[in-house]
Structure 1
Amino acid sequence: MSTQLRSLNMHVTQPFTCAYLANKSTRLMMLVEPFQNANTYYPILLQNGFRRSGEQIYRPDCEQCQECQSLRINVSEFILSRSQKRLLNKNQHFKVKISKKNKPEYFSLYQRYIDTIHKDGDMYPATYEQYSGFLASVWCDMIFIEIYDDKKLIAVSVTDKIGTLPNSAWSAVYCFYDPLYQSVSLGKFAILKQLALAKDLNIEYLYLGYYIKNCQKMNYKTQFNPHQRFINGLWLSFD
């Protein structure tokens, strides 16, 4: 861990069942007292492989497993693949907006997404308390990237804003969408739109959370290239 973080109060949880890899346990290193420290230290924590969930900042700290690798994209270096160009063309009729408010209508969309697409996950069934506890934060500066089909809201990407120009970043916290649009790859489309907006605003990095090679829900992130992964304390580049 960076020497700048060694003075922070951290707590390591007891092992519990891993949600991503079968027959594995996991434990988390968590920032104690995030209300006091998170706003100040979030940028450097993010650079050291941490992530936000609700008010909490955490990083996997598994003794026998190093599969979770934080992944980020240098926005100015990102290159669209042929399939990504086709996806953008296919969905070009969708409109994208940025909101700074957590709107009431987001929850119903989130609920339909979880209860339809993630019935096998530990977030099912969706509740408002779970939704709020997972995504909201009083100390973090967030934006909500909305995708519309005409006037219908079909997807929301909850995105944290970190740092200031020229050392700024976005962290993609979670994306949820209308299950009726599952066939048009809204999750990948939302990331492409995050990257396009970030480039327009001169954001340096977009963080996509954790890449896990042997987890289908998490390994799609390596389709966005070039990218970097945080491995053994270093950011390594991949094409």
Structure 2
Amino acid sequence: MRTRILTALLAVAVAAPAIANDPPLGSRLGERLKRGESRDNYDALRSAHRLAECLYFKRGSDVIGALTALSEAEQKRYQRNLSQSVECRNATLVDSPRLEGVAIQAPADVLRGMMAEAVLEKTTKDEALQPLPAATGGAYQRDWFAITGRDRTVDEMAVCTAEQNPAGIRDLLATRPESAEELAAVKAVGATLGPCLPQGATLKANRQSLRAALAEALFHRSTEPVVAVQ
């Protein structure tokens, strides 16, 4: 049962365009961005990643605060600070001349993952992480699940994967969004996702949502004390 559910999950994750079912990452693009074109998907995703990188560079404490907040009120305070980042609104966020006047609007859970990627890229704290033994009894539950905006099942699976296969997540985060290399990395990490999927869970995720969840889980593992195996 668990294997069949995971197969369905990965089929969606590796096949669905990054913004096919989510609000667009790039908004107010006029006729210059045609929905569904792979290059435009990449441009929009890369722009959102650059926004996350800029936010961490300019307002690192607010990014860390938003990722580690444990209450909705606290999270909103940091998000408000980040939304007021004039420096990043004025930054050059795109490569393509087709995306003039871009305004980045990422789904909250995906942007969290992108900010986590930005932190990991600069701090490299995750590089020393080693696989931990499989745990049971709710060991993969975390307080921060409440404010990610994701299904708890996705976050639990991501935490489990970050503990058992941190190298697999690092390989995924080293790839370009919507690239063949990213697709291969998602398939490779699938061997860990299967056992990490909670028993009886059913869920769907596109590739970028899955990447974001794994990035955030790896960020938390690199910054938080090790939870004792149960």
Q: TM-score range by the shorter chain?
A: under 0.3
Output the TM-score relative to the length of structure 2.
Answer: 0.28
Higher relative CO (Cα under 8 Å, sequence separation at least 6) belongs to: 2
Higher share in strand: 1
Output the TM-score relative to the length of structure 1.
Answer: 0.27
Higher share in helix: 2
